[in-house]
Amino acid sequence: MSLDARLAGLDALLRPLPGLVVAFSGGVDSGVLLAAAVRALGADRVVAATAVSPSLPAAELTGAAGFAASLGVRHEQPRTDELSRAGYRANAGDRCAFCKTELVEVLLPLAARLGIADVVTGTNADDVRAGFRPGIRAAAERGAWTPLVLAGLTKDDVRAAARRWELPLADKPAAACLASRIAYGVPVSAAGLARVERAESALRTALLRAGLPVRDLRVRDLGDDVARVEVDAELVDDVAARPDLLVAVSGFARVELDPRGFRSGAMNELLPDPVRYR
């Protein structure tokens, strides 16, 4: 099926709705969904909702607000408290389920107050074919639905649509929540999330000043005060030749560079296969 056909299918799903709340993380998937909703319904019938919590980098919230404003939609910024959930703090393999449960349980009442019945997320068709995604199931079980999946739009389709519509986030790197940087089994705390955010921001600045602008960067908290840094694969050798740059990653007793470079979902590699792919 062509991209045109899939986008037409997405429009057909959205157009009959009287209104819509889009769970907008600031990323390209939910951004394209938000733009598609505006194209189908008009800005006055669409609300973008970005959950604010210690797991959201401050830069992502700023970017989300700017993008929503560019579309002319109302932008709600409700606070979520996933850290109040013991399962989230424990950070077992199903952490994302507790986060998505918190998100949807905040957004559904918000939508109801606005007189809107539908809450949607930016999950795409590739996401549901990926291995370990407990958050997707949790969101669906609580009443959020996934138009990109129903329309068959993959990650490549989403980026192609963003470029076609000249959206500023067309080539935006993936930006998972800060908790995704913390190895499973290492408890999640507000202080730990802030430490990772500070480390990534400082290292990104140090790399830029060294003439090594990085696209994808992660500082992974492996526990025991050990951090593992992932950068774009093509930058690994350059960063390895400048170990002084890793001094920017403060707050950890030991910092190591991952020779394999950035990999989305790298923490899932530490899970046993039966858990990772359930």
Q: How much is the CA Rg of the chain, to the nearest whole Å? A: 19
**Interior CA angle at 151 toward 149 and 153, to 5°?**
65
Angle of helix 58-71 versus helix 28-41 axis, rounded to 10: 20
Based on the residue annotation, tell me whether 96 is a catalytic residue of this protein: no
- CB-count exposure of residue 5 (10 Å: 0-12, 13-18, 19+): exposed
- Nearest alpha carbon to residue 244 among 222, 212, 267, 221: 212
SS3 (DSSP) at 1: coil
Q: Which of 177, 182, 206, 214 is catalytic?
A: 177
Residue 51 is given by DSSP the state: -
What counts of helices (H) and strands (E) characterise the chain? Answer: 12, 7
In the block, tokens 């019945």 appear at 117
- Nearest alpha carbon to residue 151 among 2, 7, 249, 266: 7
Structure tokens at 154: 């993959």
CA dihedral 187, 190, 196, 197 (to 10 degrees): 150
Q: State CA 130 to chain mean position distance.
A: 15
State the Cα–Cα distance between residues 193 and 26, nearest whole angstrom: 18
State the Cα–Cα distance between residues 93 and 269, nearest whole angstrom: 11
Give the active site residues: 177
